[in-house]
Amino acid sequence: MCGIVAYIGPKDATPFLLEGLARLEYRGYDSAGVAVTGRSGGIKLRKVKGRVADLAAAVPARFKGTTGIGHTRWATHGVPSDANAHPHLDNAERIAVVHNGIIENADELRAKLAADGAVFRSETDTEVLAHLIAANVAEGVELEDAVRAALGRVVGTYGIAVLDAERPDRIVVARNGSPIVLGIGEKEMFAASDVSALVRYTRQVVHLEDGELATVRADGFRTFTEDARTTHRQPSTVDWEVDSYDTGGFEHFLLKEIHEQPGSVERTLSGRLDERFATAHLGGLNLDARELREIRRVKILGCGSAYYAGEMGAQLIEELARIPAHSEPASEFRYRNPVIEADTLYVAVSQSGETYDTLAAVQEVKRKGGRVLGVVNTVGSAIARECDGGIYLHAGPEVSVASTKAFTSTVVAFALLALHFGRIHDLSPADGRRIVSALKALPDQIREVLEQSEAIAGLAAEYADSAGMMFIGRVRGYPVAREGAQKLKEISYVHAEAYPASELKHGPLALISPELPTVALVPDDELLDKNLTTLGEIKARSGRVIAVGHRRPEEKLADHCILVPKSEPELDPLLLNIPLQLLAYHAAVALGRDVDKPRNLAKSVTVE
C-alpha cells in the first residue's frame, strides 16, 4: 500500500521520480527509494527508511539515468528499514522491482528460490518478484515474458514496475488489484500508481485493467494480458489542476481541503439539480425510472469514512425515498457469504475508487448477478470501471490522508440519489423543492461554519490533552458522531468513541467523568428534548460537554457550544460534521501531530 512512479525518456529520470514520490507520499511514507539505469548499464539504487525528503538528501548529485522507478512505502511485510524499502534487486543486481499489494504465497516462493541459490536481503514479499523475474531473464527470455512467467506463479495483489539493467529501453508494469496508470508525454513516458504524480507532466493517461501488463518505451507503450494477448487502451484526459496538489498558502493540505468544501459541494451539485421537476439529474446511473421503481432495497458498501458516509446516505434514502437502506463495511461484506437479491441496488463508495476491500465487494456482487453503482471521486478508477453506473463526486484531488471534502461530497451525492429516488417514488413536489433549495444553500452555509475556525481552534487546544473523547448523536446524528470520532482518532491519536445518544445509559455512561469530555450532536429537530435529557445525564455525572447544534443549550447542560446554520432536517448532518473536522484538525495541530500523514495510515488502501 504505497506509491509507484516510473520514467523513461531522454531526460534524467531522478528529478521526476523524487517529485512524483513527494506527490504520492500521502499513500505511504515509512520508507522510500529510487533505481535508475541508462545506456551505460548497471542499476544505481538509493533507498532509506523515512520520508521522501530523507531520500532526496541521500541521492548524490551524479545519480543519473534516463530510465527509472521509485517507490514510497507503507509497510505490510517487515518493519520500516533501509533493507525493506523498495526497489528490490535480484542477486546479480540486474532486475529492480517496486510493488504495491501483497504476495500471499511469498513464503512458499521464497523457500523454493532460496533452495535454488537466491539470497534474500529483506523481509518483504516483493523481493520474491525480483528473484523470480531474474531467474527467467537469465535464461534468455524477453523481459515482458519473464515478468509474465513470474506473475503466473504469484497469488495475491500487485501493481508493479520492473527495470532491467540490460534493457534500459523499456519498463514493464503490471496490475492486479492495485492501480497502475501510464502517462503519455512527448517522446517520454511515465507510469504511477496515482495520476497526482503525473499531472505536472501530462494530462493524457491510460489506466491498466486487472490482469493487464504494459511495456513502456520512450516513444509509446504496448498493453497485453498475462497470456500474451494484445489489448488496446485509449488515453483519457485528466482534468485535475496541478495547483490542487499544493497547499495554496494553508499550513496543511487537510486545512486547505476543509476550506475547499463549499467549492467541492458546488461541483458535486453542478448540473444535477432540476428545479422545474424538483428532482435531481443523475444520468450516470444508467437506470431508467421503471428500473428504479423495481428496486426494493439499497445496500451501501464502503470502508472507514466512506462507510460512515454510507450510513448518512442510507438515512437519506430511507427518509426521502422510503426504501429500506443499509450501510455495511465492504471489508466484511463478502466474507459472510452475502445473499445477493435481484431487487436490491448495491452502492460502492470510495474516494480513490481503488480501495481493495470495496473493489472485492463489488466483484462479489457482480459475480452473483447483482447491480452495483459507484460513488467515487476518481474518474477511470477500478471501482468506477467495474460498476454498472454511478456518480462522480468531482470534489477534486484529496491529498491529506484524512478525508474531508470527499466525505462531504459523498453525502451530497447520496442526497441527490435519495432525491432522485424519492421523486420517482412518493416524495411530493413540495418536499422535492424543499430539498433542492436546501442543497443549493449548502455551500454558503458551509462557508459560515468555516468562519468559526479560530474559535474552534481555541476550544480544541483546551481539550486536546484529554485522555479520550465521547461522541454522541441520535438517528441522523449518530453517523456524524462516528465520523467525528474517526477524524479525531486518525489525526490527533486521541482515543475517541462514538455511541448513539440513546445508548449512553445502557453502559457507556459508566465512562463519564470530568476527564472524558463528550461531543454531543444536538440538532434542532424532533429529538431535541431527548438529546437535552442525555446532556443532563452527562452533566449530573460531572462530565464536560461540547454541544454542536442550532441553538445554545442552557449553561447547566453544556460547557461549550458550536452553532451551525439550520438546513432541512435531512441535510442537517452535513453541516453538523464540519465543526468536527475543524475540532479534530486543531486538536492535532495543538498536539504537534503530522496532520496530513498520520502514523500507521495511508490514503488509498489497496491491500486487504
Please tell me the distance from the alpha carbon of residue 234 to that of residue 273, in angstroms, as a whole number: 32
**Would you say 294 and 343 are in contact if contact means Cβ atoms under 8 Å apart?**
yes
Nearest by Cα to 376 from 309, 288, 444, 451: 309
3 state DSSP class of 112: helix
Please tell me the distance from the alpha carbon of residue 486 to that of residue 473, in angstroms, as a whole number: 14
Does the annotation mark 387 as catalytic?
no
Count of other CB atoms within 10 angstroms of residue 41: 10
Spatial neighbors of 592 by CB under 8 A, at least 6 apart, are none
Which of 256, 405, 489, 603 is the catalytic position? 603
Please tell me the distance from the alpha carbon of residue 590 to that of residue 584, in angstroms, as a whole number: 10
Please tell me the distance from the alpha carbon of residue 104 to that of residue 125, in angstroms, as a whole number: 8
Please tell me the distance from the alpha carbon of residue 376 to that of residue 374, in angstroms, as a whole number: 6
Strand 518-522 and strand 468-473: pairing?
A: parallel
Question: Which secondary-structure segment (H or E) carries 20?
Answer: helix 13-24
Does the annotation mark 299 as catalytic?
no
Tell me what percent of the chain is helix, strand and coil, each rounded to the nearest 5.
40, 25, 40
Please tell me the distance from the alpha carbon of residue 99 to that of residue 467, in angstroms, as a whole number: 38
Which of 2, 303, 387, 561 is the catalytic position? 2
**Would you say 64 and 16 are in contact if contact means Cβ atoms under 8 Å apart?**
no
Number of Cα atoms under 13 Å in the Cβ half of residue 520: 35
Residues marked active site are found at 2, 603
